[in-house]
Amino acid sequence: MTIDHDGDTPVYRQIAAIIAERIESGDLQPRRRIPSESDLVQEYGVARETARRAVAYLREQGLVYTVPQRGTFVKPSEGDVE
C-alpha cells in the first residue's frame, strides 16, 4: 500500500483506510494496539498531525478507541466477551 500525495483523497484518509483494512482482515486483532502515531509518521513519511488525523478518523468511525498515555486499540466487536 502506498500513499498518493497528489490524489483526491486526503493522505490521512488513505492511511486510515489502510489501517481499517488491516483491522477487517484480522491482521490487527481486537483490543490489540494499532501502530503509534510515530510509527505512522515513520512508515508513511507524513507529519505527525496527519498521522493523528488518520487515527482520529478511525476513532470517529468507531473502529478504534484511544487510552490516553497508553495508545490506540482495535475496538472489540459487539458480541465479544468483556
Partner DNA sequence: TTTCATTTGTCCGTATGTATT
Partner DNA sequence: AAATACATACGGACAAATGAA
**Interface with DNA, residue 63, by CB under 7 A:** no
Q: Kindly state whether residue 5 participates in binding DNA, applying the rule CB under 7 A.
A: yes
Beta bridge partners of 33: 73
- CB-based contact 2:27 (threshold 8 Å): no
Other CB atoms within 10 Å distance of the CB of residue 76: 13
Q: How many residues bind DNA (CB under 7 A)?
A: 24
> Which of 46, 58, 63, 74: binder of DNA (CB under 7 A)?
46
Q: Can you read off the three cell numbers belonging to residue 10? A: 486526503
**Contacts with DNA, residue ranges (CB under 7 A):** 5, 10-13, 36-39, 45-50, 52-53, 55, 66, 68-72
